[in-house]
Amino acid sequence: MKLSGKVAIVTGGSRGIGKAVARIFTEEGADVVITAREDSRLQSTAKQLGVIGFAGDVRREEDVENVVKKTLDKFARIDILVNNAGIFPEVRPLHEISKSEWSEVVDTNLTGQFLFTKAVIPHMMRNGGCVVNVSSDAGLRTFENFEADAYSATKAALIHLTKTWAIEYAKYKIRINCVCPGIVETDMTEPYLRTEADRAMAVAEHPIGRIGRPEDVAKAILYFATEDSSWVTGAILPVDGGISVK
């Protein structure tokens, strides 16, 4: 029970990687709050996992502050934040992206992480804590024919912010780390894995020989959330079957 007595907030916790994180955190003894925009699926997941679901939109500061307030009202502390919420835009070249499409991705994948981290940091400054950001291999390197510029930009920015925040808050014993998944089988990637040819192409990209599972990423996040990584901050960990080193 490596997280016994700890309180964690997981954004984007109703499905995919966030759901897997909530499950493994609960198994390790944490009190877990998950948050997402869609309340019906959120509450269904919360009931299934035995956690608490507070609906909110990471793009809205008032929603973020409400989730943090409700968590504090319930548990009186916040030890862990997993900034997992994110969206993947429709793939198209830069010159065809509208400003509204760009802004939606930036607001969800970057501003939301800023707002949640900003909201929890003052409460972690008392007793320490940790933040784990979920970026992507797309933030580490470029990929041919990967026309998702706003997504790549936000994920790269989140990597740099991880390092910036790690230095800024180390004196408060707050650790900030980041995982960078490759292709993981989730609702977000399902449209790109529908055919056997698509799946074979995705598998071939990963030297380890398979697509990732949400649990693969969740286990890496668990490491950063526990005392096993008590001397680790500002780390950027690819969890990607080796794709980032090709």
The residues assigned a catalytic role are 151
Asked if 211 contacts 202 with a C-beta cutoff of 8 angstroms, the reply is yes
Q: What is the largest CA-CA distance in the chain?
A: 52
